[in-house]
Structure 1
Amino acid sequence: MELKRVVVTGLGAITPLGNSIDELWKNLVEGVSGAAPITRFDATDFKTKFACEVKDYNSNDYFDRKEARKLDMFAQFALIAAEQAVQDSGIDHEDIDTDQVGVIWGAGIGGIQTFSDEIKGFAKNDFKPRFNPFFIPKMISDIAAGHISMKYGFRGPNFNTVSACASSTNAIGDAFNLIRLGKTKVFVTGGSEAAICEAGIGGFNSMQALSTRNDDPESASRPFDKGRDGFVMGEGGVSLILEEYEHAKARGAKIYCEVIGAGMTADAHHLTAPHPEGLGAKNVMISALSDYDTKPEEVDYINVHGTSTPRGDIAETLAIKEVFGEHAYNLNISSTKSMTGHLLGAAGAIESVACILAIRDGVVPPTINHFEDDPEIDQKLNMTYHKAQKRKVKVALSNTFGFGGHNASVIFKAI
């Protein structure tokens, strides 16, 4: 069968670097760090006392109080980002067949704050079973997709992907595949996460996954730096509108770029650590490239998973060198997690936006916070350290990898 072409026609974001796409992109290009001391709760007794929070967030600015009480923050972020993307795309009008618009959302954790609050309330109430009737609908990770569909009346396929930090890239990949197979015309996709709470920070601290550089939060996320000591927790929501090309063209939509590949693999190796030689990462990039027979030398920019963890950064660079060969040294590579922190299930969505806007503007955002070279990482690779670099980007690839060995990549191309 003839596969349909898939394009991006809308973007939306609420993030640690800004509550709109324009603000996010401006700060990414300028190399701004979103890390600061935690304000969500008293972190005095925690090993990590900082994170990349959405700044000055007040749910009452977006929802009435009654509605906000029914929504965990991760779902609030999802609705805010989706609204921006829908408006940007122009699909929210009477001429759209809502049966042909679906929602596939990514969230690796979902309503962890709601879960934590309810269990604390249960304990404070002498363990008597008095739970909020919205406890379960607020907590479950699929609810964000449900809320988006109900808000707009979108009756196409509707579900949530859960693959830890690869969740929103899997969501984008699923949307891409369903559109190109002709199953649906339009998808609202992306991801959101809101895990900056006692349980989220404490849980990741107990795994020794988070940076503890409390004396200098802004420089704590240090992908590829010898002194990296873990990732910085981020939060927010980012949405993309994916659309069948002819459908978008027929309605005169603004088109950012084309989606030309999506790969999904597993490491089958370890609960939290990557394959030491980057086997799963290698396979997922090869898989994404194979969708439209994209040659490795056609890729200009890779937005890497690059979390600032000791093992992960090394494994990913080994995989890139194996897949791209000598062309690896012609690529621009950067980790925008050095600025945004790690948005967990929403990481793939925010990093896809970085790829899309790099294509649009011919600018590669930097990897900030590089102080000392790691001898285990090939320093001939162009990691776009310190400052954004101007470059014509025709093809960009985004990598995301999650606990459990989940790997997902997506490729965007100028149109």
Structure 2
Amino acid sequence: MCGMIKGFEKLGYEQSVIAGIDVEDSIKELEEHFGATKFYPVIYNTDKLDFNVVGMSDSMPYKSTRYRDMNAEMVEKLKKAFEKQINKALEEFKPNIIICHHLYLLTAFVREVVKDKDIKIAAVCHGTCLRQLKTIPLERDYIKENIRNLDMLFALHEEQKRDIMSVFNVGEDKVKVIGSGFNDNIFKNKNYEVERDYIELVFAGKICKSKGLIPFIDCLDRLDYKDDFIKVRLAGTGSDKESYDEIVAKANNSRFDIKFLGKLNQNDLSEEFNKADIFVLPSFYEGLPVVVLEAMACGTDVVVTDIPGVKEWIGEKINTSGKIKYVELPKMKSVGVPADEAIEPFEERLSEALDQMIKENLDTTNHKRFIDMSEKTWDGLAKRMEEMIIKTK
């Protein structure tokens, strides 16, 4: 969201932000983070909204409330808290267009609250909203009806566009494909000259099972390298303690050096990408993972599961560069959960891709080679959105 805000700011737009935060979060720091915007915070863990921030995934890198655990009373409290700030923003800021994130409950509620038809409402799908809608019944019909009545829906890629059209029963003209973006002021190839006698792999994201970390750690044992030749760094946190502990235990039993870096800010994550040789994202489910763009912008080679839409969005120029390899996803028994019999073949495919990338990485002519990623930046995304919104006026 912040990347989009900064992109629109460069295009000369005045903006305000409505967002949920925890009572312990610093409003001042968040205002500085958003930049030149008016901030309308909805504060959780207060008397009127007495639970953690709701998360769009079941496992978030902070204390969160799962949508699947919400009851009617909690939903009503959530709506009332957001309605107050929405109406305040409408009165004070008087927006011409509202851009929401996620095609889910709160975005549907915005459509209900904002009755002025002169205010256009658009929403960006990040993938997790579709997963929630398909796996839990919470307010499903209400969400579908109100999302259907938005003025414009933004999809990350063509396959997601088709999914949105099917789920919400909307026409092709309402759904626009915009892709995603990254901050090229932070994530850039610094061409570090790192002399060492080992390969470093890095992962960044939530430390949870749906990211494929269990089979990733297991697949390392299939690699025919000395124990001190591969080092693995896992950046991120996880709110599901049982899942997190299982992954840590698995890592501790690996013959390779695996370290958990915890939550990193973007500058520190950029440093890790620049130092690493290969970024690995073995996830079973994603929308369009910006972290892949960030890693590649730092010159890091990438091994990623063949998540629907990603290969298409990355584009032929990068896909044929030798800097990225895709691994076929396992058969799923439910969204983001692989079938038991499909895990071992997936581990084998993942280890083969890693082995190939390691061997290619040892060729210094390919190591940290620059790739033009200018079309994938946040500025580029804001410009695409602007053009699409203007065309519909």
TM-score, scaled to structure 1: 0.30
Task: Kindly indicate which of the two structures has a greater share of residues assigned to helix.
Answer: 2
Larger radius of gyration: 2
Relative contact order: is structure 1 or structure 2 higher (C-alpha 8 Å, sep ≥ 6)? 1
